[in-house]
Each structure stands twice: as structure tokens, then as C-alpha cells.
Structure 1
Amino acid sequence: MKVKLSRSTTYFKDGKEVEIDSLDLDFDRLTGNDIFEVEREMTMMGHPIGTQFVQSSKALAMLGAKAADVPTFLVETLPVKDAFKLGMYVKGFLMGFPIPLEHPKESEEPQL
């Protein structure tokens, strides 16, 4: 599923600058280890989340970054609306809610 960002953002991958204007979420690529890595990163940043994973906006957005195959730190640079939207899609996936197959038209907001 493709999530359009409200503005493009850049990051470096393999020494090259990459510009993106959307995130292509592939939840099938995620494993339990991805959750454990996000928990470990959060703990190393001084924010242990324990059993509150689905309540943590940052943990959910970071897991979304893993589903999109972008660095987890990228979520910190996204506009707040985009970071929150990303987290909501991940939360919906984890809780078993239906996920839209494609991004809605520009004038429509996703229904979660």
C-alpha cells in the first residue's frame, strides 16, 4: 500500500541522496524481529515501551518505516500528519483492521 506524504523528504542510502514523496508499505516483509528491533531502538533512546507497543506513536511509525524499507530515523523528520498517518496504518494492520489497497484520491482522507 502506498502512503503519499504531504511533502517530499530526503535521506541517504548507500552514500546517495534519495528523495521520496510516498512510502510503499509492504507489511508482508515484516517479521517478529522487526518489532524487537524497534523495541531495542526505543530502549536505547531512553524510551522503553514494554507492552505498550500499539500505544506508542513513535514505535508504530518506526515499524512503518521498516515496512517501507526506509531508515527508522526518517519518521522523526516527517511532518506530524504524515508520521501519525503512518502509525495509524501500522496500528490498523497489527490490530487486524482492513487496510486500503491503494491510497485514496488526493481530496479524500483514509478511513481507519
Structure 2
Amino acid sequence: MIITLKKSIKYDGQEVKELELDLEALTAQDLLDAEAELAAERKTPPIKEFDKSYLAIVGAKAAKVPTDMVKLLGAKDFTNLTMQVQNFLIAEA
């Protein structure tokens, strides 16, 4: 899935206009790594699938970009990314 950013960002000297989320390629290890990254920030949400920080980390993993890059997204783009991840994680099969 391609997310076209409403507002491009600059990261590592490059202009980023879109992110490609490969949610289907996520593994259990990716989710465990996202939990560990969240814990390193000393955040323990009651339900991580509803926590924007956790969803941002998982989204970064799906897009194969650093979490710091996702944190630069505009509000609408960030919300779109986290909603896509949330929908993927909690949607019934």
C-alpha cells in the first residue's frame, strides 16, 4: 500500500513524498521489536493497538524507514499511517 503524503518531509537530505507500507510482510518479531522500542521510551499503553506511538513504530517497520522519520510526518499523514496500521492489526480475517 502506498501512502502519498499530503505534505512532503525532508529526511536525511532527501525529500519524501510517499511511504510504501508492506503490512502483510510484518512478522511477530517486528511487533515484538515495536513493543521493545515503545518500552525503551518508557511508555506502557493499556492496549497497544490503540496507542499512536506503537502504531507509528509498527508503521515505520512496515515502510522500512526509521521511526524518527515517521515522527516528522504532518498530522494528517501521521494519522493516516497509524489508522492504516491499526485497521490492519485489528481487522477480522
Q: Give runs of aligned pairs for residues 78-89 of structure 1, distance below 5 A.
A: 78-89=73-84
Q: Give the aligned partner of residue 70 of structure 1.
A: 65
- Structure with the larger RCO, 1 or 2 (CA within 8 Å, 6+ apart): 2
From the superposition, tell whether residues 4 and 18 of structure 1 become closer, same or farther in structure 2 (CA, over 3 Å). same
Aligned length: 93
The equivalent position to 1:35 in structure 2, one of 31, 34, 49, is 31
Normalised TM-score (structure 2): 0.87
Identity %: 34
- Structure 1: 5+ residue stretches without partners: 99-112
Normalised TM-score (structure 1): 0.74
Larger Rg: 1
- Structure 2: 5+ residue stretches without partners: none
**Do residues 5 (structure 1) and 11 (structure 2) align?**
no
Secondary structure of 1:78's partner?
coil
Q: Give runs of aligned pairs for residues 40-59 of structure 1, distance below 5 A.
A: 40-49=36-45, 52-59=47-54
Secondary structure of 1:73's partner?
helix
Any runs of at least 4 consecutive aligned residues in structure 1 with deviations exceeding 4 A, and if so which? none
* Bigger helix fraction: 2
Secondary structure of 2:71's partner?
helix
